[in-house]
Structure formats: C-alpha cells, structure tokens
C-alpha cells in the first residue's frame, strides 16, 4: 500500500521535471540585436532599391533562417516595420568571444563608406561573415587587401518589395547559392581556405547519426517524453500496489 500511496508523488515529480525544462528564448535563436551606425555603411544584397548603403542610424539585425553551414540575416528598421536587406552569411570562427555585440568592417579609401564584413553576437566564438556579389567582392578585396566572400549565383541585388519570410524564392536561392572567396590578387579560392567553421559545425559534419531518423518519433520538445515517463511511473506504481494488495 505504501507504493500505491507514493504514486501521486512520483507523478508530481515527473510533471514538475517537465515544467522546469529550460527553453530557448526567441532572441537567443534569431540573435535579434539593435545596432547603431554613426556613419553610412555599405551592405551586400539582397536589399531594397536605394539601400545598398545604409545611412547612419539604428537598425535591427536578426537571423531569419539558419542551416549547418550558412545563415540568412535580415536588417530592418528600429521598429522592424521595414526590412532593408536580406543577406547570405557564413559562420566564421574567431578566437575570443566578448560579452558585447561586435560589428567588423572593411576599411575603405577616405570619403567612401565602410563595407560591412561580419556580425558577432555576444558570447559567441563565431560570427556571421557576409557574402557579397562576385563583382563587388573583387573590388572590395583589392581595396581592403583582405579576402572577401562571394557567390557566383545570379541573384538580383535589389528588390522593390521587402523580403519577409524564408519561403520567398530569393531566400531559397540564397540558401543554395555556391560561395567562394576572392583574394586581393583576384584569385578565387575555396571557402575553407579563408573561413574556419564553428566547432559545433565540424562535429555535426563528422558525426554519423546513431539511429535511423525514420525509426524515431518526431517531437517538437522534451515535454512529450517527460509526460510519457510520468505515465509509465504512475502505471508501474499502481501495478506494484495492486500486486502487493493481492498478496496480503
């Protein structure tokens, strides 16, 4: 009978365990960040017509969609009512993370706006390095004497209507566009020669799945699994209590 009386406690513990599982906040997933530029900044496409250079001001950066080796980053107005640009970015490792947002630029000749290079989210040891159209990447590489990422895909750099969802055709093109790098000499090189992917990406690429995904149930979170454990614990306690009662 003691086991039967303990059953509600077991169930409560299972439910509490499920309730206190950590959940990811929206900002940690899309890395939503407010950034203020003190001067004009050149950005790669795809951007609204006339916004290849952002004027000084405050903007919102966030990840619209991500995969294991590339991300789609959007830049919007401070109130997020206007999306100025939707940009392909490649995760690139750096040695030391900081607790602040870091934006890096490619220094240009005097009188010309700096070109956006990468965005580092606070606490991350890797950042989003932005991909430019091939012709523009070649110019920037020579001007700044640094390699620049580019895509060979023929993607329209300007749009008249802002891109809002990952399902739009231009976003689909960006996700599968081939990416390389161009050296200051004009030599085109493979991405791996200038980009170091984050460690977790390397692990994911080199680790085979332990089980066939087709044989595993798909779950959106850990809560269904915790609920199942709770039900099994309750059923086991009831069964043991019933057996003990019959044996008395």
Q: What is the pTM of this model?
A: 0.68
Q: Please tell me the distance from the alpha carbon of residue 24 to that of residue 42, in angstroms, as a whole number.
A: 32
Q: What is the pLDDT of residue 235?
A: 55
Nearest CA to 70 among 189, 159, 198?
198
E-state strands within the chain = 33-37, 41-42, 47-48, 53-54, 57-66, 71-77, 83-93, 102-106, 114-120, 126-130, 132-133, 148-151, 158-159, 179-182, 188-189
Q: What is the pLDDT of residue 151?
A: 94
Which residues of the chain, if any, have pLDDT below 50? 1-26, 202-229, 238, 240, 242-243
Q: Buried b / exposed e across 142-154, counting CB within 10 Å, b at 16+?
A: ebbeebbbbbeee
Helices and strands (DSSP H and E) totals, the chain: 6, 15
Q: Please tell me the distance from the alpha carbon of residue 175 to that of residue 71, in angstroms, as a whole number.
A: 8
Q: What is the pLDDT of residue 236?
A: 55
Q: What is the pLDDT of residue 199?
A: 65
Q: What is the pLDDT of residue 232?
A: 52
Q: What is the pLDDT of residue 189?
A: 96
Q: What is the pLDDT of residue 52?
A: 94
Q: What is the pLDDT of residue 179?
A: 95
Q: What is the pLDDT of residue 56?
A: 96
């Amino acid at each position: 009978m003691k086991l039967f009386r303990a059953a509600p406690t077991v169930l409560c513990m299972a439910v509490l365990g499920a309730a206190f599982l950590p959940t990811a906040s929206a900002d940690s997933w899309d890395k939503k960040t407010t950034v203020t530029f003190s001067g004009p900044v050149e950005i790669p496409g795809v951007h609204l017509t006339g916004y290849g250079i952002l004027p000084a001001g405050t903007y919102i950066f966030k990840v619209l969609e991500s995969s294991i080796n590339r991300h789609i980053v959007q830049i919007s107005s401070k109130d997020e009512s206007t999306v100025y640009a939707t940009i392909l970015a490649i995760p690139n490792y750096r040695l030391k993370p900081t607790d602040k947002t870091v934006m890096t630029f490619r220094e240009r000749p005097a009188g010309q706006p700096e070109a956006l290079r990468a965005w580092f989210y606070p606490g991350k040891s890797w950042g989003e390095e932005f991909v430019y159209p091939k012709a523009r990447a070649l110019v920037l590489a020579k001007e700044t004497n640094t390699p620049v990422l580019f895509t060979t895909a023929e993607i329209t750099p300007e749009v008249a209507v802002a891109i809002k969802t990952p399902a739009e055709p231009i976003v689909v093109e960006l996700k599968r566009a081939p990416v390389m790098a161009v050296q200051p000499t004009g030599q085109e090189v493979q991405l791996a020669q200038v980009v170091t992917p984050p460690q977790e990406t390397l692990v994911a690429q080199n680790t085979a799945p332990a089980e066939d995904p087709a044989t595993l149930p798909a779950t959106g979170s850990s809560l269904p699994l915790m609920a199942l454990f709770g039900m099994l614990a309750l059923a086991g306690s009831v069964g043991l209590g019933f057996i003990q009662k019959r044996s008395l």
